[in-house]
Chains A and B, each alone.
Chain A
């Protein structure tokens, strides 16, 4: 009796929890199909116009000036998506390699200043984004570096390396050190051991770190806002700019597509993980 009540309460709490975290997303997805161009909270029929407009397929606007606006914003949007993907891909590659290598070095070798080093690695993660953003901006200006995609990539790497390091390091700490010794004992050099034993064992951690780095890099607004040059607007910065000019229905369509992409990435990650473990 008591446990049945407990189950009921638990179910209600669980449902409320999911409503709480998913309701805003649901609102966005629904409104992205709302035909009402002025007030998105009043349902005015189903439409795909906002998606068509974004992708440059829109024939909705009849007057010339309006059409020009659409086409222009479509090009900008696609450029922003391209920038974001470029930054995220480069950042993921760099921070995954460097973060993994750092975790290995810190776990397997004793050297002077090791404690300071591993502590210092976590600092960028805990620093408020706005501080990091301003700091990076001042740094780039001081050394006379033009703001571009490169500065964004460097900026993202400064804190994403820490994320990858942390995840790989956790996986490494759970690994039996005797595995590497067994490999060496059986005649494998350090490099062979790395390739054949360490890397496959760490793969789920490395993959998880890479996915996280990719998602955070795609998503970052605050830091990027400071260090993005005029030609290097990323998707979040672009959306932020659009909102400042007024909330347009297209934003909901963009958001919905981002949600879809995120779900796909997360599903891919889960699938890869489940394939690895047995």
Chain B
């Protein structure tokens, strides 16, 4: 089975004002399946928008290819590409009504009146804006405009929808609501979404697959769980959620477990897979992996931050070294600063990075 969208070796360089070049895309390979929700995630300037615009045709590639359904898109101008985009600024046509905005793709195709009316009505209904068709975009709230942009992009039934940070202008509550609605819509339409964001939480919530980019390359891709639990590198581990990283040297292997020691002498139990005594490695443990009692990392609470249902603690190990971040459920109230704790964890939860 071939993918709906196939990108191979995509390269794009921009000249910088200083006279040099920056590789916005530095050899990107990406496949997107027919009804997959793929998120492009990464820090500002890593090339997410450039990749999206190369798919929609607003950016030309210096090298590589973009194929949709096996057909090379390279020579097609944007208006001939059978995919649609939701723009970050929404880009609604202010001089047209909501209904005419939504029907624009059908209008320029010249479909007959009855089909036009029906499809526009359905698209408005899908995004929950029935009855708003006669308004002008300026008479809508931010969230409603967002929905108009969405309805406008799906009215022509594209097989692939591109979205460049469509939720970044919304407030937190509305954003979370729209995240669920978008995911739901994608599921109902049965089409592929390529969604750009630099919000890792958003990426984890919505995606079937997260593609983490860094400086024009794909650093790692996988399911949200995979990328959260098994980050390949320090960059991924730190970008996706909060994490504690320990630089260790492997002391010995005992059964299925390895014992590593940090420079400060803190001992950690890790899964032994692939480790040899004497080797240096970086181990990652998520804040939620720790328990506050019955462990063998002795330390003291140095700070605590209240986050609603969770309590975020910073624990200074007695052995020394950086503070360890721990999430605990807020049951008996926050431990006082200075309370001694002994952190424990399941060694199987510890993850050794492939790359230091």
Is there an interface contact between A176 and B108, defined as CB atoms closer than 8 Å? no
Q: Is the CB of B138 within 8 A of A184?
A: no
Interface pairs A-B: 6 shortest CB-CB: A178-B91, A182-B91, A186-B105, A188-B108, A200-B95, A184-B79
Pair A187/B109 contact, Cβ less than 8 Å: yes
**Which stretch, B81-89, B228-236, B297-305, touches the partner chain A?**
B81-89
Whether the Cβ atoms of A187 and B79 lie closer than 8 Å is yes
Sample of 9 further A-B pairs with CB below 8 A, known A176-B89, A178-B91, A185-B153: A181-B58, A181-B91, A182-B152, A185-B56, A189-B108, A196-B107, A196-B108, A201-B93, A278-B136
Output the nearest chain A residue to B82 by Cβ-Cβ distance: A187
Q: Pick the contact of B152: A179, A186, A200, A201 (CB < 8 A).
A: A186
Per a CB cutoff under 8 Å, which of B85, B109, B136, B138 touches A182?
Answer: B85
B292 sits at the interface (CB 8 A): no
| A192 contacts chain B at the CB level, 8 A cutoff | yes
**A197 interface hit (Cβ, 8 Å):** yes
Task: Name the residue on B nearest A178 (C-beta).
Answer: B91
Q: List 25 A-B contacts (CB under 8 A).
A: A176-B89, A178-B88, A181-B85, A181-B87, A182-B85, A182-B87, A182-B93, A182-B152, A183-B104, A184-B58, A184-B77, A185-B79, A185-B85, A186-B108, A186-B152, A187-B105, A187-B108, A187-B109, A196-B93, A196-B104, A196-B108, A197-B93, A200-B95, A201-B94, A278-B136
User: Is the Cβ of A188 less than 8 Å from the Cβ of B79?
Assistant: yes
For B84, list chain A residues within 8 Å (CB): 185-186
Contact call A185/B78, Cβ cutoff below 8 A: yes
B76 to chain A, nearest CB (A): 11
Is residue B156 contacting chain A, with contact meaning CB distance below 8 A? yes
Contact B79 A176 (CB under 8 A): no
Cβ contacts under 8 Å, B79 to chain A? 184-190
Q: In B277-320, which residues have CB < 8 Å from any A CB?
A: none
Contacts of A192 in B (CB 8 A): 108
User: Which residue of the partner chain A has the closest CB to B164?
Assistant: A178
Considering only residues 194-223 of chain A, those with a C-beta below 8 Å from chain B are 196-197, 200-201
Report which residue of A176, A178, A183, A185 has the largest number of chain B beta carbons within 10 angstroms of its beta carbon. A185
Alpha-carbon gap, A183 to B105, bound state (A): 8
Measured between beta carbons, the chain B residues less than 8 angstroms from A182 are 85, 87, 91-93, 152
With both beta carbons as reference points, the residue of chain B lying nearest to A201 in the complex is identified as B95
Residues of A within 8 A of B93 (CB): 179, 182-183, 196-197, 201
Residues of A within 8 A of B (CB): 176, 178-179, 181-190, 192, 196-197, 200-201, 278
Judge whether B95 and A179 touch: CB under 8 Å: no
Residues of A within 8 A of B138 (CB): 278
**Shortest beta-carbon distance from B176 to chain A in Å:** 25
Q: Which residues does chain A contribute within 8 Å of B88, judged by CB atoms?
A: 178
A128 CB, nearest partner CB in chain B, Å: 38
Give the residue name and chain of the A residue nearest to B83 (CB): A185
- The residue that B156 contacts in the complex, of A183, A186, A201, with Cβ under 8 A, is A186
- The count of chain B contact residues (Cβ–Cβ below 8 Å) is 26
> What is the bound-complex CA distance between A192 and B85, given in angstroms?
18
Main secondary structure on A side of the interface with B: helix
A44 vs chain B, min Cβ distance (A) = 56
Shortest Cβ gap from B57 to chain A (Å):
8
In the bound complex, what is the Cα–Cα distance between A50 and B71 (angstroms)? 79
Greatest chain B CB density within 10 A among A176, A184, A187 is at: A187
Contacts of B80 in A (CB 8 A): 187
The chain B residue sitting closest to A188, CB to CB, is B108
A13 to B88, CA, bound (A): 47
A278 to B95 Cα, complex, angstroms: 8
Most chain B CB within a 10 A radius of its CB, from A176, A184, A197, A201: A184
Residue of A at shortest CB range from B162? A185
Residues of B contacting A176 with CB < 8 Å? 89, 91
Assembled-state Cα–Cα distance A184/B84 (Å): 10
Closest to B58 in A: A181
* Residues of chain B contacted by A183 (CB below 8 angstroms): 93, 104, 108
CB distance from A57 to the nearest CB of B (A): 47
Q: Which of B79, B107, B136 has the most CB of A within 10 A?
A: B79
Question: How distant is the Cα of A192 from the Cα of B79 in the complex, in angstroms?
Answer: 11
For A197, what are the chain B residues with a Cβ–Cβ distance below 8 Å?
93
- Residues of B95-131 whose CB lies within 8 A of A: 95, 104-105, 107-109
Give the complex CA separation of A178 and B107 in angstroms: 19
Residues of B within 8 A of A178 (CB): 87-89, 91
- Closest A residue to B149 by beta carbon equals A182
Given A179, A189, A190, A278, which contacts B91 in the complex, CB threshold below 8 Å?
A: A179
Measured in the bound complex, the distance between the Cα atoms of B88 and A150 in whole Å is 50
> Complex Cα distance A197/B92, Å?
10
What is the bound-complex CA distance between A200 and B97, given in angstroms? 13
Cα–Cα, bound, A181→B109 (Å):
17
Render B218-247 as a binary contact track against A, CB cut-off 8 A, 1 for contact: 000000000000000000000000000000
**Contact indicator per residue, chain B 133-158, by CB within 8 Å of chain A (1) or not (0):** 00010100000000000001100100
Q: Cα distance A196–B109 when bound, in Å?
A: 13
Docked complex: B41-97 residues within 8 A CB-CB of A:
56, 58, 77-80, 84-85, 87-89, 91-95
Instruction: Give A278 to B136 CA distance when docked, in angstroms.
Output: 8
- Chain B residues in 8 Å Cβ range of A190: 79
Least CB separation from A186: chain B residue: B105
Residues of A contacting B78 with CB < 8 Å? 181, 184-185
Query: How far does the alpha carbon of A187 sit from the alpha carbon of B107 in the complex, in Å?
Result: 10
Across the two chains, which residue of chain A brings its CB closest to B80? A187
For the complex, give the distance between the alpha carbons of A190 and B80 in Å: 11
Shortest CB distance B89–A (Å): 5
